[in-house]
């Protein structure tokens, strides 16, 4: 942390040459952290003064929004030089964020490399094609260990690219893989074809990034090759690129659970209008669902007017129902999203949640009737207790069933947010409440 | 997928020798997947028939609960042989799940290795010490490249262990690191001290696993060394171990957001009683918070009795308030947990959420007054519209402020669940509602 503070101070005081010296012994991620409190102009001047490779490494560690601002500051010629030093996956992410005009200009200036980036830009951002880098080490089966070692010496690829050496045939089709470790411990004259593993796990170019992350987790791979529909090797994904994906997807799911549309940026970078628009339509939509509750209340106006005590328990009852439904929905959605539970498990899950719901219903029903006795009389206690049990059991099952139905319909179960469950359960809960009340108090409508 | 189905069929039909042949060409993770539908006894018989190394690799890919059942089936002698072939981090996780008696027995049988595992068992499960494996390649500065290469040939460590070679002094203190790639491209006679990187990022043995995951993400490392308080190298963590952590922590946070205590297992493995107990105390606790709402309703009994129409809007108003508060709380908690927003940013965040809240309040207030006009009269419309705006603005700020207060008190902000926010906002919302109603309808209490 000390070096970060020192660099920050030097930059704020415009000690450019000292800052360059300090940064030389720092990890690019730490330099990027130091830059965060510094004005964009100063960041640009500093990065322009660094060796292009170092500037590229630091730039890759900044937020995309900042990268764009800095590129605009330093001008196209220098930007081109720095982009050339970035890994293709990061360069592509950056170009995708630029206005079409600027990115076209940079791609043109990048000439041959630019053409490769243009192709990468075609991939959807959240697929394996959008994640992959096109830097990798590929050799042929008939090469020997010593040939590949000398190739590595010549190419000097970045460390995380060289961990696996991919083997392709003359049409570039992926036929095998070997780890650098295997290469190192094999006899120098051995042919690659005799030591490589032929059973290569690869991912298609259009696989969803969440799926890719799950493969990394399942197989404990550090790198996965990406192939096109003809099994030709077109890129690699390293596990560190996926680490961010898992957190990003979790954030999106957490936001959805509270009825917030995906922000597409992090909270700190989201403006007031973005936050407003990602929330307002959900809130308005939920109001419409809530109108059902309002209607039910109006329909039972007579019951309410006669036993006003009953209204006291409305927030308590509908909240408890909403809470119970949110709990089961949250558990089931997360289990479905992480593939812990499959669609075909619905019967087991239903029975499990029925048992849990009945247990919860018993305990909460007793609690509810005690409160009823305290605020009202025996009849109120009976109504509140019975309603509480019924609402809890029903809400628990609604929270379980809806995510399964959505998954069955091939929709994202995470759309079943806690607020939506709450609104649905409210209406159902009020119906249960008034039905039981009407029955116990012998009202007729 | 085809091989997985084939193996499953062979196991179900007790074609043991054919199953062994099929499994030989499969990735351990795929074999583990095939085993999932097979009875534990059959799994045990099959694993016992495999080479110990292969059995260990497959076992590591199963759920911990299953591993424990299988170990019990195959008996201590074979269990010891298989444990010996597992990586130390996985073996430790497994031993930690066994009853004390069984794990002590196995540790004794494992002799020297057992002692190492016993030490690993001392670490908290969710810290760097609990994640690390003690297999790593460590060399001295004065060794040459060719010496290290021949050491690697002799040790033949697993591929993911050999990516980085750590350099230690005679007291085992970490002094440098070099990647296998650097080793491979360096002159054979070079001394390690002259090519290694001296600025090693390492983690202390007691670092929280979420923090470790964040370091991996920040620096894009694939492996991180773990050191004790004297900077002695004691283990390594590979990024694939952390991938699961990120998902696990996200699941825990998602569960907390719905007032569910951490399950400590996945949903599919959680029994009815576990699910019940992780939920019931929260639901009961929330009932107590909800009693405030019941009390407020009772206090305003006269208002309710005189204008019964007002009760119709209670679910709508308190739900919308709860939804708004849950949205802002969810956004802020996630931003705080992922360090996207820091405690010191509270002023900016407050102003941002004030602006968002006022915008939402205006839109929803208009919607509310329309509904009031539809169900009641002009006065009801005024009361419902004003209340809606006020509740939305206040709820939005409550959702923002509470997580900051908890973080300030060094408590986990994720405790502020959507149900808790809802319950708090309900009480506040009812107070606002009745105050405005009493003012517009000129009631006095």
Interface test with B, best of A313, A327, A342, A374 (most B CBs within 10 A): A327
Say yes or no for a CB contact (<8 Å) between B422 and A179. no
Q: Which residues of chain A have a CB within 8 Å of the CB of B330?
A: 254-255, 257-258, 260
* Interface test with chain A among B158, B254, B365, by most A beta carbons within 10 Å: B254
Mean pLDDT across the stretch B80-103? 84
Under the banding of pLDDT at 50, 70 and 90, the label for residue A159 is: low
Q: Mean pLDDT, to the nearest integer, of A418-439?
A: 89
Percent of chain A with pLDDT over 70: 99
- Collect all residues of chain A within an 8 Å Cβ-Cβ radius of residue B212: none
What are the φ and ψ backbone dihedral angles of A77, each rounded to 5 degrees? Answer: -65, -50
Q: What is the pLDDT of residue A184?
A: 85
pLDDT confidence of residue A445: 43
**3.30.2420.10, 3.60.20.10, 1.25.60.10, 3.90.700.10: which CATH number matches B2-122?**
1.25.60.10
Q: Residue B234 is encoded by which pair of tokens?
A: 């004691």
Q: How far is B245 from chain A (nearest CA, A)?
A: 10
For residues A203 and B286, what is the distance between their CA atoms, to the nearest angstrom? 47
Of A50-54, A196-200, A266-270, B385-389, least confident by mean pLDDT is: A266-270
Report whether B78 contacts B49 (CB < 8 A): no
Taking phi over 0 as left and psi of -120 to 50 as alpha, with beta for the rest, A172 belongs to left
Alpha helices in B86-144 (DSSP H): 88-97, 100-109, 111-121, 128-131
Query: Distance, in angstroms, between B273 CA and closest chain A CA?
Result: 7
Give the list of residues 6+ apart from residue B442 with CB closer than 8 angstroms, or none: none
Kindly provide the ipTM of the predicted complex, given to two decimals.
0.77
Instruction: Please answer yes or no on whether A356 and B315 come within 8 Å at the CB atom.
Output: no
Contact between residue B161 and residue B137 where contact means Cβ atoms under 8 Å apart: yes
Could you tell me the two tokens for B395?
Answer: 């709820």
Question: Phi/psi of residue A23, each to 5°?
Answer: -65, -25
Kindly give the residue spans of alpha helices, DSSP state H, lying in A156-219. Answer: 180-185, 192-195, 209-219
What's the rounded mean pLDDT across residues A403-410?
91
Q: What is the DSSP letter of B133?
A: B
pLDDT at B443 over 60: no
Q: What is the pLDDT of residues B171-225, one digit of tens each?
A: 999 999 998 888 888 888 999 999 998 888 899 999 998 889 888 888 888 899 9
**How far is residue B420 CA from its own chain's centroid?**
21
Record: contact B279-A219, CB cut-off 8 A: no
pLDDT band at B445 (very low <50, low <70, confident <90, very high): very low
Per-residue pLDDT at A443 exceeds 60:
no
How confident is the model over B114-135, as a mean pLDDT?
86
Contacting residues for A218 by C-beta, under 8 A, at least 6 apart: B29, B61
Chain A to chain B, count of Cβ pairs less than 8 Å apart? 375
Neighbours of A126 (CB within 10 A): 15
Q: Report how far residue A267's alpha carbon sits from residue B330's, in angstroms, rounded to the nearest whole number.
A: 11
Q: What is the reported pLDDT for B430? A: 92
**What DSSP element (H or E) covers B167?**
strand B164-168
Extract the tokens encoding B164: 């980085």
Min Cα–Cα distance to chain B from A60, Å: 11
pLDDT (tens digit per residue) in B307-327: 888 888 988 899 899 999 999
Query: How many CB atoms neighbour CB A276 within 10 A?
Result: 17
Give B198's contacts (C-beta < 8 A, 6+ positions apart): B175, B176
> From CA A365, how far away is CA A362, in angstroms rounded?
5
- Residue B158 pLDDT more than 80? no
The distance from CA A103 to its chain's CA centroid, rounded to whole angstroms, is 26
Provide the token pair at A80.
Answer: 């081109």
Q: Which residues of chain A make contact with B56, given a CB cutoff of 8 A? A: none
What does the pLDDT read at residue B3? 86
Q: Tokens for A346, please give them.
A: 């619905």
**Residues on chain B touching A276 (C-beta within 8 angstroms):** 356, 359-360
Instruction: Convert the pLDDT of each residue in A199-230 to its tens digit.
Output: 888 999 999 988 898 888 888 888 999 999 99
DSSP, res B86? S
CA distance A400 to A343: 12
Nearest to A251 among B183, B305, B334 (CB): B334
Contact assignment for A222 to B308 by CB distance below 8 Å: no
Q: What is the domain partition of chain B in residue ranges?
A: 2-122, 138-239, 267-440
**Rounded to the nearest 5°, which phi and psi values hold at A73?**
-70, -40
State whether B319 and A280 contact (CB < 8 Å): no
SS3 B386: helix
Choices 1.10.357.20, 1.10.10.10, 3.40.50.620, 3.30.70.1050: CATH for A267-440: 1.10.357.20
A179 chain-B contacts, CB cut-off 8 A? 159
| Strand-strand pairing, B174-179 and B164-168 | antiparallel
All residues of chain A having their beta carbon less than 8 Å from the beta carbon of residue B291 are 316, 371
- Cβ-defined contact of A308 to B301 (cutoff 8 Å): yes
Please report the pLDDT score of residue A181 as a whole number: 85
Is the per-residue pLDDT at A40 higher than 70?
yes
Judged against a pLDDT cut of 70, whether residue B58 lies above it is answered with yes
Instruction: Find the closest chain B residue to A215 by CA distance.
Output: B29
> Can you tell me the distance from the alpha carbon of B20 to that of B47, in angstroms, rounded to the nearest whole number?
9
CATH class of the domain comprising B138-239: alpha beta
B351 CB-near residues (< 8 Å, 6+ apart): none
Cβ A331–B275 below 8 Å, yes or no? yes
Helix segments in A75-170, DSSP class H: 76-85, 88-97, 100-109, 111-121, 128-131, 145-155
Q: What does the pLDDT look like over A290-327, one tens digit per residue?
A: 888 888 888 888 888 888 888 889 888 998 999 999 99
Q: How near does any CA of chain B get to the CA of A214, in Å?
A: 9
Q: Rounded CA gap, B348 and B67, in Å?
A: 50
Q: Is A101 exposed, middle or buried (0-12, 13-18, 19+ CB in 10 A)?
A: exposed
Q: How far apart are CA A198 and CA A432, in angstroms?
A: 63
Nearest CA in chain B to A276: B356
For residue A277, the chain B residues in CB contact (below 8 A) are none
Instruction: Give the mutation candidate from A146, A220, A296 for the B interface (greatest B CB count, under 10 A).
Output: A220
- Are A341 and A332 in contact by the 8 Å Cβ rule? The answer is yes
Provide the shortest C-alpha distance from residue A101 to chain B (in Å): 31
Evaluate if residue A386 carries a pLDDT over 90: yes
Q: Do B319 and A286 touch (CB under 8 A)?
A: yes
Chain B residue numbers with beta carbons less than 8 Å from the beta carbon of A59 are: none
Q: Which two tokens stand for residue A330?
A: 């949250």
Nearest to A184 among B149, B255, B257 (CB): B149
Does residue B1 carry a pLDDT above 60? no
- Neighbour-count burial of A157, counting CB atoms closer than 10 A to its CB (0-12 exposed, 13-18 middle, 19+ buried): middle
| pLDDT one-digit tens code per residue, B339-387 | 888 899 999 999 999 999 999 999 999 999 998 888 878 888 999 999 9
Contact residues on chain B for A152, CB-CB shorter than 8 A: 181, 184-185
Q: Say which range, B185-189, B312-316, B412-416, B439-443, has the weakest mean pLDDT.
A: B439-443
Q: How far apart are CA B36 and CA B40, in angstroms?
A: 9
Taking contacts as CB-CB distances below 8 angstroms, the residues of chain B near A385 are none
Across the interface, whether the CB atoms of B254 and A251 are under 8 A apart is answered no
CB A70 within 8 A of CB A44: yes
Give the residue among B193, B195, B139, B144 at the shortest CA–CA distance from B168. Answer: B139
Rounded Cα–Cα distance for residues B17 and B45 (Å): 11
Q: Cβ–Cβ of B418/A257 closer than 8 Å? A: yes
**Cβ–Cβ of B314/A323 closer than 8 Å?**
no
CA–CA min distance B232, chain A (Å): 21
Q: Which residues of B touch A159 (CB under 8 A)?
A: 163, 179-182
- Asked whether the predicted pLDDT for residue A198 surpasses 70, the reply is yes
pLDDT of residue B392 exceeding 90 = yes
> Taking CB atoms and an 8 Å cutoff, what residues of chain B touch A218?
29, 61
Closest-CA residue of B relative to A426 is B315
* Crossing angle of the two packed helices B314-337 and A272-299, in degrees rounded to 10: 150
Question: What percentage of chain A's residues is helix, strand, coil (to nearest 5)?
Answer: 70, 10, 25
SS3 per residue for B184-231: HHCCCCCEHHHHCECCCCCEECCCEHHHHHHHHHHHCCCEEEEECCCC
Contacts of A312 in chain B (CB under 8 A): 294, 297-298, 301
Q: Tell me, what's the pLDDT at B77? A: 86
Tokens of A303: 């019951």
Residue B174: both structure tokens together = 């970490």
Q: What is the pLDDT of residue A401?
A: 94
Residue of A nearest to B152 (CA): A185
Span of A42-46, A256-260, B158-162 with lowest mean pLDDT: B158-162
Whether residue A253 and residue B254 make contact (CB cut-off 8 A), yes or no, is yes
Give per-residue burial for A385-416: e unless 16+ CB within 10 Å, then b: bbbbbbbbbbbbbbbbbbbbebbeeeeebbeb
d(CA A424, CA A213): 34
Residues of chain B above pLDDT 70, percent = 99
Asked if A280 and B363 come within 8 Å (Cβ–Cβ), the reply is: yes
Q: Which residues of A touch B413 (CB under 8 A)?
A: none
- Res A309: pLDDT: 84
Closest Cβ–Cβ partner in B29, B222, B284 for A160: B222
B254 close to A254: Cβ distance less than 8 angstroms: yes
Pick from B183, B318, B355: CB nearest A315? B318
Longest CA–CA separation in chain A, Å: 96
List the strands of the sheet with A174-179, edge to edge: A138-139, A164-168, A174-179
- Flag if B419 and A319 touch (Cβ within 8 Å): yes
B-interface mutation test, from A89, A299, A310, A356, most B Cβ less than 10 A away: A356
Strands B138-139, B164-168: pairing kind: parallel
| Confidence at residue A194, expressed as pLDDT on a 0 to 100 scale | 92
Query: Closest partner residue to B359 among A152, A276, A331, by Cβ?
Result: A276
What's the gap in Å between the CA of B101 and the closest CA on chain A?
31
The Cα B35–Cα A404 span in angstroms is 25
How far from chain centre, in Å, is Cα B356? 30
Ramachandran angles phi, psi of B250, nearest 5°: -65, -45
Please report the DSSP string for B257-268 in residue order: HTT----SS-GG
Distance CA A208, CA A129 (A): 9
Tell me what the mean pLDDT of segment A170-180 comes to: 92
**Average pLDDT score over chain B:** 88
């Amino acid at each position: 942390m000390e070096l970060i503070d020192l660099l920050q101070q030097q930059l704020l005081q415009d000690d450019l040459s000292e800052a360059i010296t300090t940064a030389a012994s720092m990890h690019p991620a730490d330099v990027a952290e130091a830059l965060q409190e510094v004005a964009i102009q100063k960041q640009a001047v500093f990065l322009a003064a660094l060796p292009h490779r170092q500037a590229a490494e630091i730039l890759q560690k900044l937020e995309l929004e900042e990268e764009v601002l800095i590129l605009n500051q330093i001008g196209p010629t220098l930007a081109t030089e720095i982009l050339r030093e970035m890994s293709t996956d990061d360069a592509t992410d950056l170009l995708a964020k630029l206005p079409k005009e600027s990115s076209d200009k940079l791609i043109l200036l990048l000439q041959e490399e630019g053409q490769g980036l243009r192709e990468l830009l075609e991939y959807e951002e959240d697929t394996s094609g959008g994640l992959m880098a096109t830097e990798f080490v590929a050799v042929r089966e008939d090469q020997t260990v010593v040939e590949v070692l000398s190739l590595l010496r010549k190419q000097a690829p970045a460390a995380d690219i060289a961990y696996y050496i991919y083997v392709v045939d003359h049409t570039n089709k992926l036929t095998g893989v070997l780890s650098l470790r295997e290469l190192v411990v094999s006899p120098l004259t051995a042919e690659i074809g005799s030591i490589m593993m032929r059973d290569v796990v690869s991912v298609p170019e259009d696989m969803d990034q969440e799926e890719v992350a799950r493969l990394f987790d399942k197989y404990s791979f550090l790198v996965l090759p990406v192939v096109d529909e003809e099994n030709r090797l077109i890129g690699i994904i390293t596990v560190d690129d996926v680490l961010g994906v898992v957190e990003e997807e979790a954030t999106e799911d957490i936001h959805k659970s509270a009825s917030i549309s995906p922000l597409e940026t992090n909270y700190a970078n989201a403006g007031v209008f973005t936050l407003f628009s990602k929330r307002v339509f959900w809130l308005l939509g939920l109001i419409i669902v809530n109108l059902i509750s309002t209607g039910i209340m109006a329909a039972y106006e007579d019951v309410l007017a006669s036993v006003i005590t009953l209204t006291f328990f409305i927030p308590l009852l509908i909240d408890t129902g909403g809470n119970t439904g949110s709990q089961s929905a949250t558990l089931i959605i997360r289990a479905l999203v992480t593939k812990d539970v499959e669609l075909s498990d619905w019967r087991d899950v239903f029975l499990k949640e029925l048992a849990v719901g009945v247990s919860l219903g018993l305990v909460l029903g007793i609690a509810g009737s005690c409160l009823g006795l305290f605020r009202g009389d025996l009849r109120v206690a009976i109504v509140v207790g019975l309603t509480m049990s019924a609402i809890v059991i029903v809400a628990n099952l609604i929270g379980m069933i809806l995510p399964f139905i959505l998954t069955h319909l091939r929709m994202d179960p995470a759309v079943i947010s806690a607020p939506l469950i709450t609104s649905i359960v409210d209406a159902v809960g009020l119906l249960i409440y008034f039905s039981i009340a009407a029955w116990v108090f012998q009202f007729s409508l």
